[in-house]
Amino acid sequence: MMRNIVAGNWKSNKSINESREWMNEMSELASELPSDVRVMVAPPTPYLAALAESKPSNVILASQNVSATNTGAYTGEYTAEMLVSCGVSFALIGHSERREYYGDSDSVVVEKISRCVEAGLGVVLCCGEQLEIRKAGTHEDMISAQLNYALNGITDVDPLNFVIAYEPIWAIGTGLTASAEQAGEMHTFIRKLLGEKFGSYRAGQISILYGGSCKPSNASELFANEDVDGGLIGGASLNTADFIKIIIAAGE
Q: Which of 213, 218, 225, 240 binds ligand PEP (CB under 6 A)?
A: 213
Smaller CB separation from ligand PEP, 233 or 250: 233
The answer to whether the beta carbons of residues 53 and 20 sit under 8 Å apart is no
DSSP characters over 165-187: EE--GGGTTTS----HHHHHHHH
Residue 106 C-alpha from the chain's centroid: 17
Residue 164 binds ligand PEP, judged by CB under 6 A: no
Residue 67 binds ligand PEP, judged by CB under 6 A: no
Residue 233 binds ligand PEP, judged by CB under 6 A: yes
Angstrom distance (rounded) from CA 3 to CA 199: 17
Residues recorded for the chain = 252
Residue 104 binds ligand PEP, judged by CB under 6 A: no
C-alpha dihedral, 192 to 196 to 200 to 206, nearest 10°: -70
Residue 167 appears among annotated catalytic residues: yes
The answer to whether the beta carbons of residues 93 and 124 sit under 8 Å apart is yes
Angstrom distance (rounded) from CA 46 to CA 51: 10
Q: Which of 81, 97, 129, 167 is catalytic?
A: 167
**Cβ within 8 Å of residue 105, ≥6 positions away:** 99
Q: Tell me, residue by residue from 71 to 90, as one string, x for binding to ligand PEP by CB under 6 A and - for no binding.
A: --------------------
The region of 30-38, 73-81, 106-114, 209-217 touching ligand PEP under the rule CB under 6 A is 209-217
Angstrom distance (rounded) from CA 99 to CA 107: 11
Residue 43 binds ligand PEP, judged by CB under 6 A: no
What is the total count of residues that contact ligand PEP (CB under 6 A)? 13
Angstrom distance (rounded) from CA 188 to CA 174: 24
Residue 95 appears among annotated catalytic residues: yes
* Run of H or E including 140: helix 139-151
Residue showing the smallest CB distance to ligand PEP in the complex = 234
Residue 234 binds ligand PEP, judged by CB under 6 A: yes
Shortest Å, Cβ 131 to ligand PEP: 14
Q: Which of 81, 95, 129, 139 is catalytic?
A: 95
Angstrom distance (rounded) from CA 59 to CA 103: 30
Residue 230 binds ligand PEP, judged by CB under 6 A: no
Shortest Å, Cβ 174 to ligand PEP: 7
Residue 219 binds ligand PEP, judged by CB under 6 A: no
Shortest Å, Cβ 124 to ligand PEP: 9
Return the active site residues: 95, 167
- In the complex, the residues that contact ligand PEP under the rule CB under 6 A are 9, 167, 172-173, 211-214, 232-236
